[in-house]
């Protein structure tokens, strides 16, 4: 599993039939900064993921990729490589809270 911030959404009116009705989100992975572990640094890449939990722009989420993504409910037959599986409330690193959704 990985942490990411939701940066936006993707709309595709023509897509594989197994993807109909699925919300697609643009994610930017968030990495704990090795120089200052009390903060995140954004990853350089973005990922498009299927939303399985109702996440929105600006939220911090948990996502998984690869074969694990296809284990999410109702995705076994879908051509999915990444899926949002949770909305993050807090993140603690080295005993310090570095993210709080409130």
In the chain, what are the domain boundaries?
Answer: 2-100
- Give the burial string for 68-88 (b: 16+ CB within 10 Å, else e): ebeebeebeebebbbbbbebb
More confident residue, 92 or 71: 92
> Residue 48: is it exposed, middle or buried by C-beta count within 10 angstroms (0-12/13-18/19+)?
middle
- pTM for the full predicted model: 0.91
CATH number corresponding to 2-100: 2.40.50.220
CA–CA gap between residue 42 and residue 67 (Å, rounded) = 24
pLDDT digits (tens, 9 = 90+) for 24-80: 999 999 999 999 999 999 999 999 999 999 999 999 999 999 888 888 877 888 899
Backbone angles phi, psi at 56, to 5 degrees: -135, 170
């Amino acid at each position: 599993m990985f942490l990411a911030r939701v940066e936006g959404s993707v709309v595709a009116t023509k897509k594989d039939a197994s993807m109909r009705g699925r919300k697609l989100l643009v994610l930017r992975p968030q990495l704990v900064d090795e120089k200052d572990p009390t903060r995140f640094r954004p990853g350089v890449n973005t990922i498009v993921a299927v939303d399985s939990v109702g996440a929105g722009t600006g939220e911090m989420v948990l996502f998984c990729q690869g074969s694990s993504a296809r284990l999410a409910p109702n995705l076994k037959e879908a051509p999915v490589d990444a899926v949002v599986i949770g909305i993050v409330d807090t993140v603690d690193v080295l005993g310090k809270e570095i993210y709080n959704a409130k």
